[in-house]
């Protein structure tokens, strides 16, 4: 009886763990965002912005919420490191893509990478949040301007590839278009912390509603993680 009650209690208080990727170009503010999350949600403050250098490899941080654990991975954004992002796609439950709203010169480059993340078949069904970072800077584009800029960029891309579009690509584009139409964009200042809690709330609510009510999705993902971990070195 004791074991039964203990098991039931563990079942009721069990916290599912979700893996969230923080992606974006180098310099967008991913590490600053992650460190601010650590400061806001854990007893150990994250690094202060002046202590943060370019990310080589990845930074991780885990936060415990009343009903879930969120495991964040901030993957380096330099060109070389970007090529390994896809290895993390299978096992992630949500993606936060950080764009530097203050750097107009690199917006197109940021959209190209964002577009490749957004349209990856493994990400198409995963909650995706676009964060317009550096809202503390007076020169930053607003959330509306960032959304508009991406939509314009996407239209230009469609125009230039229209002739080459076959049926298969058309279906893909439709999925992509649906996603863009329902895309959530939030303004944050990773340095000041403005909007960071709202972004974490968004991610938490989306992973909870997507995976808790469909436990198979979580189980599948966990199995994949464990397979990855036990895969022999090649």
Ligand X SMILES: Nc1nc2c(ncn2[C@@H]2O[C@H](COP(=O)(O)OP(=O)(O)O)[C@@H](O)[C@H]2O)c(=O)[nH]1
Q: Which residues are annotated as a binding site?
A: 24-31, 55, 77, 133-136
Q: Give me 125's structure tokens.
A: 């069904």
x/- mask, Mg ion, residues 49-78, rule CB under 5 A, reads ------x-----------------------
Looking at the Cβ atoms of 157 and 193, the one nearer to ligand X is: 193
Does residue 91 touch ligand X according to CB under 6 A?
no
Sole window of 21-29, 80-88, 109-117, 177-185 interacting with ligand X (rule: CB under 6 A): 21-29
Q: Are 14 and 87 in contact (CB under 8 A)?
A: no
Site for ligand X (CB under 6 A): which residue of 37, 92, 126, 190? 190
- At its nearest, how many Å lie between ligand X and the CB of residue 209? 28
Residue whose entry in the numeric block shows the structure tokens 């800029």: 149
Residue 59: left if φ>0, alpha if ψ -120 to 50, beta else—which one? Answer: beta
Toward Mg ion, which CB reaches closer, 17 or 55? 55
Distance CA 132, CA 10 (A): 39
Number of residues in contact with ligand X under rule CB under 6 A: 19
- Residue 97 or residue 211: which is nearer to ligand X going by CB? 97
Three-state SS for 180-212 is HHCCEEEECECCCCECHHHHHHHHHHHHHHHHH
How far is residue 118's CA from residue 162's CA, in Å, rounded to a whole number? Answer: 19
- Residue 24 sits in the site that holds ligand X (CB under 6 A): yes
Task: Compute the least distance from the CB of residue 70 to ligand X, in Å.
Answer: 18
206 contact, one of Mg ion, ligand X, none, CB 5-8 Å limit per kind: none
The edge-to-edge listing of strands for the beta sheet with 128-133 is 58-65, 68-75, 16-23, 94-100, 128-133, 184-187
Name the residue whose CB lies closest to ligand X: 29
Identify the residue among 18, 29, 128, 146 touching ligand X (CB under 6 A).
29
Residue 78's CB: how many other CB atoms inside 10 A? Answer: 13
Summarize as ranges the residues that interact with Mg ion (CB under 5 A). Answer: 31, 55
């Amino acid at each position: 009886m004791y074991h039964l009650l203990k098991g039931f209690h563990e079942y009721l208080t069990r916290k599912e763990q979700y893996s969230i990727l923080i992606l974006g170009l180098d310099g967008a503010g991913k590490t600053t965002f992650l460190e601010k999350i650590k400061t806001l949600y854990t007893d150990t403050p994250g690094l202060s912005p002046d202590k943060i250098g370019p990310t080589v490899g990845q930074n991780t941080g885990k936060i415990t919420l009343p009903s879930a654990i969120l495991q964040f991975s901030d993957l380096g954004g330099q060109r070389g490191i970007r090529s390994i992002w896809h290895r993390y796609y299978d096992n992630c439950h949500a993606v936060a893509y950080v764009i530097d709203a203050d750097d107009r010169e690199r917006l197109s480059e940021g959209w190209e990478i964002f577009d490749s993340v957004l349209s990856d078949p493994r990400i198409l069904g995963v909650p995706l949040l676009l964060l317009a970072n550096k809202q503390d800077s007076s020169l930053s584009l607003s959330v509306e301007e960032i959304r508009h800029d991406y939509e314009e960029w996407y239209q230009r891309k469609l125009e230039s590839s229209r002739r080459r579009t076959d049926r298969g690509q058309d279906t893909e584009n439709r999925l992509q278009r649906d996603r863009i139409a329902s895309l959530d964009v939030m303004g944050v200042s990773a340095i000041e912390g403005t909007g960071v809690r709202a972004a974490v709330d968004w991610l938490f609510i989306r992973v909870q509603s997507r995976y808790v009510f469909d436990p198979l999705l979580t189980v599948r993902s966990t199995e994949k993680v464990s397979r990855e971990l036990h895969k022999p070195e090649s």
